[in-house]
């Protein structure tokens, strides 16, 4: 039996983290590099790509970047083929790329709903489908889908996002069911409220300098009494990508400071 800490090593593995130009994806890719993996990542914009490559270099990480829209199956198939040619078979896939549109349901256009579901749910299906054949051939693989509190809870203005993230929870369980026998484990990470560009509008200072009402609300709903940071996700992501989680399958690991366990403080 390997030394217990060696079980968390990603040495010699190839990891693809989608949407890892910044935010949660960047932190997960950084953690994987520190754990020994070779890093491939993608995003849509050349501007974000250039900034990301400079940031990875600054952090001493040799990251391989690919411009690819994860909703476009032909682009994804080409990206995976290029990665497999340049780095080898993908051992670890993190379906991280995602967007949110905060629009009251009755004001949301069907096209806007479809766009969120396309990126947050259809794309993880497309990318997983491109990567699984190589994992099957190699005899192992790890797929980690970045779910959300909204895989379990709803709230006003995020109907498309909650529908997509709820679906992503079940896609995670289905990939687990269909490919467990090939030694492929598929799990999810459900981050709580994390300080990234995606949630910046919810933390914006008010004109009078006071905190955004949603900021105060989330801190009151979180037993840890703070927003999460992308660093809070690094350890759980390494665990789910490593040999240490070989018998964990179909599980959504909520990294939320306790939000899902907490009914909330009684108003004073
Ligand atoms: P973010 O800061 O907005 O970053 C999103 C990343 O995805 C960017 O790199 C973006 O790059 C990329 N992306 C978006 N659409 C894409 C597409 N069609 N193809 C390829 N890349 C695409 O978001 P984040 O806060 O880091 O969130 C990352 C993931 O965690 C998302 O799935 C989000 O739903 C989930 N999540 C976030 C939180 C939170 O509180 N922040 C909590 C729970 C779950 P380009 O725009 O250049 O393509
Ligand atoms: C929102 C937030 C959340 C977070 C995250 C929580 O508007 O409610 O953006 O959805 O992004 O998904 O887990």
Q: Residue 84: its pLDDT value, please?
A: 98
Q: What is the predicted pLDDT for the residue at 268?
A: 81
Query: Within 10 A of 182 (CB to CB), how many other CB atoms are there?
Result: 15
Task: Answer yes or no: is the C-beta of 102 below 6 A from any ligand 2 atom.
Answer: yes
- What's the CA-to-centroid distance between 4 and ligand 1, angstroms? 32
Q: Is the CB of 189 under 6 A from ligand 2?
A: no
Question: How many angstroms separate the CA atoms of 127 and 178, rounded?
Answer: 16
| DSSP helix/strand/coil, 123 | helix
| pLDDT < 70: residue spans in the chain | 2
- 76-95: burial string, b at 16+ Cβ within 10 Å, e else: beebbeebbeebebbbbbbb
Instruction: Using alpha carbons, select from 94, 245, 82, 99 the residue that is nearest to residue 161.
Output: 99
Tell me what pLDDT residue 265 has.
86
The string of DSSP codes covering 63-104 is EEEEE--TT-HHHHHHHHHHHHHHT-S--EEEE---------
Residue 218 phi/psi, 5° resolution?
Answer: -65, -40
Give me the residues paired with residue 187 across strands: 144
- Say what the pLDDT of residue 132 is: 99
Contact 166, 229 (CB under 8 A): no
Here the tokens at position 162 are 């909650």
Ligand 1 neighbour 141 (Cβ under 6 A): no
pLDDT at 254 (0 to 100): 98
Residues listed for the chain: 268
182 is catalytic: no
Pocket of ligand 2 contains residue 201 by CB under 6 Å: no
DSSP structural state of residue 230: G
Using DSSP's 3-state secondary structure scheme, residue 263 falls into coil
DSSP annotation of 37: -
Beta bridge partners of 191: 255
pLDDT at 149: 98
Q: How far is the CA of 119 from the centre of ligand 1 (A)?
A: 9
Give the angle 133-172-230 at the CA atoms, nearest 5°. 105
Single out the residue of 3, 8, 51 nearest to residue 246, CA to CA: 8
- Residue 266 is predicted with a pLDDT of 86
194 in ligand 1 pocket by Cβ < 6 Å? yes
The best mutation among 199, 217, 228, 233 to test binding of ligand 2, ranked by most ligand atoms within 8 Å of the C-beta, falls on: 199
Left if phi > 0, otherwise alpha if psi is -120 to 50, otherwise beta: which for 78? alpha
Q: How far out from the chain centre does Cα 75 lie?
A: 20
Q: How far is the CA of 46 from the centre of ligand 1 (A)?
A: 16
Cα–Cα distance for residue pair 209/260, rounded to 1 Å = 30
Contact 69, 122 (CB under 8 A): no
Name the active-site residue from 26, 32, 56, 161.
Answer: 161
How far, in Å, from the CA of 193 to the mean position of ligand 2? 6
Tally of CB atoms within 10 A around 224: 14
Q: CA 178, 125, 55, 189: dihedral to nearest 10 degrees?
A: -50
Pocket flag, ligand 1, residue 80 (CB < 6 Å):
no
Q: Which two tokens stand for residue 68?
A: 């690819």
**Number of C-beta neighbours around residue 51 at 10 A:** 14
Ligand 1 centroid to Cα of residue 3, in Å, is 35
């Amino acid at each position: 039996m390997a030394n217990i800490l060696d079980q968390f090593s990603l040495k010699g593995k190839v990891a693809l983290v989608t949407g890892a130009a910044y935010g949660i994806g960047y932190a997960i890719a950084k953690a994987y590099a520190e754990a020994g993996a070779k890093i491939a990542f993608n995003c849509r914009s050349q501007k974000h790509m250039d900034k990301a490559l400079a940031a990875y270099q600054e952090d001493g990480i040799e990251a391989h970047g690919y411009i690819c829209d994860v909703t476009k199956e032909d682009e994804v198939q080409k990206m995976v083929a290029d990665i497999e040619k340049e780095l080898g078979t993908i051992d670890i896939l993190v379906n991280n790329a995602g967007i949110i549109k905060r629009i009251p349901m009755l004001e949301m256009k069907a096209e806007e709903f479809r766009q969120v579901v396309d990126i947050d749910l259809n794309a993880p299906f497309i990318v997983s489908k491109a990567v699984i054949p190589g994992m099957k051939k190699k005899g192992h693989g790890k797929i980690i889908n970045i779910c959300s509190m909204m895989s379990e809870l709803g709230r006003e203005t995020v109907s498309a996002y909650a529908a997509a993230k709820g679906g992503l929870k079940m896609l995670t369980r289905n990939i687990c069911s269909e490919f467990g026998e090939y030694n492929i484990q598929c799990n999810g990470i459900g981050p709580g409220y994390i300080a990234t560009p995606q949630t910046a509008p919810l933390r914006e200072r008010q004109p009078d300098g006071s905190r955004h009402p949603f900021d105060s609300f989330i801190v009151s709903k979180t037993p840890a009494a703070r927003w999460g940071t992308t660093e809070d996700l690094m350890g759980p992501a390494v665990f789910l990508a490593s040999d240490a989680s070989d018998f964990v399958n179909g599980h959504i690991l909520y990294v939320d400071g306790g939000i899902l366990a907490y009914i909330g403080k009684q108003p004073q």
